[in-house]
Structure 1
């Protein structure tokens, strides 16, 4: 099939699809798709061979021209159907963790499941530690369905076991003073300080000398399996 004929077919399909959603929804979806790819309006317009004003107008909620939408979608490597799907069928763009979602695990054995199927207060976690819980771990649920970030909160009463995994990790001290061991190096971090490291290096977390317990850190790592 020749390119002009194929474009005409895509234009007809796009006209049918675009008739099911408002121009505001189409514009918002085009803008999000462009931003996810890190493209400026100028870059997208140049790649799609449309005017910059056409992109601005579409993203602002202007009436979509089917052929323009086809060209923009082709330039971003997405199907028009992803822009023109029913308004209620939105992809997840925000994920939120609520306190009611808190479930605490043991970092040394989080595969065993949560300590309790409910949130635990700091006093309850401290009691569990006295009963054998090693390193309280809160797995935050604000992870996007197709995202790669794994956010957790780690509560430290003693040094954790050394571990390693692919990717990189960022640790931010929420409370107290922490000591981060990475490979042969160790770093003390005050509350409000952070470190990022290649997590293929063996690493562990611990309270710094003399720190009030528990020390609490936020860990965010990239899940390479996503």
Structure 2
């Protein structure tokens, strides 16, 4: 695979970036906090986590900020890598869909659905649980969404599959509004502007399982 000026391959960058992102989420650190600890920009942190940064020194700064050894992160056959990933109930960590880079929601909203509902109604957040059942080098990114109102409009690379777990949802993709009941699902190119919302009269929260595959 192509390598940068410091000899790092694309595979090494992607592997290190994914493991750094997973560790940041597990440590409940925001993009902003890592940027401050690493003394780099938030954009640089995002580039590291996606494997787009070509400078090994930048990965090293992010790793050191979380107390990690960079060389161990880029060993595909390391003992820490297992062929599966599990998310347990105690692993739940809720963020705001529109601003998850700023870190988790307040502690009161982590275990109390009523606190999340109040926060959603008062501040317009869309609670997002980034599930830990992601393979070390996998491309599938599952999340759980709770909707109390319309989410922010988003677009990003890749494909997205959304399954309605509870309630009735409206999923808008590229200007088309699709209406889904519990047990129904939709797959779309996530580069199209899209958002989610409860249908009028639906019990709240509407719960969605979103599975994203980056291109």
- TM bucket, shorter chain: 0.5 to 0.7
Are 1:103 and 1:117, in contact at CA under 8 Å, matched by a contact in 2? no
Match of 2:96 in 1: 106
Distance 1:126 1:90 in 2: 37
Larger radius of gyration: 1
Instruction: Label 1:160 to 1:90 Cα distance change in 2 as closer, same or farther (>3 A).
Output: closer
Match of 2:56 in 1: none
Distance 1:161 1:202 in 2: 10
Instruction: Label 1:211 to 1:109 Cα distance change in 2 as closer, same or farther (>3 A).
Output: same
Does residue 137 (structure 1) correspond to residue 128 (structure 2)? The answer is yes
Distance 2:120 2:200 in 1: 19
1:126 to 117, 124, 128: 117
Gaps of 5+ in 1: 1-81
Match of 1:94 in 2: 84
Does residue 195 (structure 1) correspond to residue 195 (structure 2)? The answer is no
Gaps of 5+ in 2: 1-75
Distance 2:124 2:111 in 1: 13
1:168 to 132, 148, 159: 159
Match of 1:217 in 2: 208
Does residue 157 (structure 1) correspond to residue 139 (structure 2)? The answer is no
Q: CA deviation at 1:125?
A: 1.1
Distance 1:98 1:171 in 2: 21
Secondary structure at the counterpart of residue 146 of structure 1: coil
Distance 2:143 2:179 in 1: 20
Deviations along 1:191-212, one digit per CA (max 9) or x if unpaired, are: 0100000111111000012111
Q: CA deviation at 1:130?
A: 3.4
Distance 1:223 1:92 in 2: 21
* Structure 1 residue ranges (4+ consecutive) displaced by more than 3 angstroms after TM superposition: 88-91, 116-119
Deviations along 1:56-101, one digit per CA (max 9) or x if unpaired, are: xxxxxxxxxxxxxxxxxxxxxxxxxx9xx8xx93741110001111
